């Protein structure tokens, strides 16, 4: 029964991913080709420039990548590092839970052995 439940959960998660992907494509179908997936930074900059032309930035970037390729590479590196940290944390939590289950099972076995040993002494 547990295997069927796992298969169902996996199928539902994959289905949800497909629906989210399809929905994001469907919602952006009327956007101009170069603005289909514009980031929030550029939208905020456009809004500020249109509505507050006298605005002066109070901060300048510490580092500006030389090209779009470098910027994309740094973003990919950031995503990979984040995925690595997430995977490490997930693995650590999984291992902790596994160790706790093994400790509980071992404690149960020790209690059962102690109980059976105690029963043997009574006769």
**Global pTM value:** 0.50
3-class SS of residue 62: coil
Residue-wise pLDDT tens digits, 81-107: 999 999 999 999 999 999 998 888 888
- Other beta carbons within 10 angstroms of residue 56's beta carbon come to 5
HSE, CB side, 13 Å, CA atoms: give it for residue 30.
1
Q: Are 41 and 33 in contact (CB under 8 A)?
A: no
pLDDT category, 111, cuts 50, 70, 90? Answer: confident
Helix and strand tally (H, E) in the chain?
3, 0
Q: Is the pLDDT of residue 121 over 90?
A: no
HSE, CB side, 13 Å, CA atoms: give it for residue 85.
6
Place of tokens 């507050």: 52
């Amino acid at each position: 029964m547990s295997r069927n439940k796992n298969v169902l959960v996996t199928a539902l998660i994959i289905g949800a991913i497909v629906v989210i992907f399809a929905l994001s494509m469907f919602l952006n179908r009327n956007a101009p080709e170069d603005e289909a997936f514009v980031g929030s930074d550029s939208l905020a900059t456009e809004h500020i420039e249109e509505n507050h032309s006298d605005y002066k930035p109070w901060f300048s970037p510490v580092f500006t990548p030389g090209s779009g390729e470098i910027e994309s590479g740094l973003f990919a590196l950031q995503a990979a590092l984040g995925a690595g940290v997430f995977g490490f944390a997930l693995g650590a939590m999984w291992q902790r839970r596994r160790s706790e289950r093994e400790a509980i099972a071992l404690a149960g076995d020790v209690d059962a052995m102690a109980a059976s040993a105690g029963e043997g002494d009574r006769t």
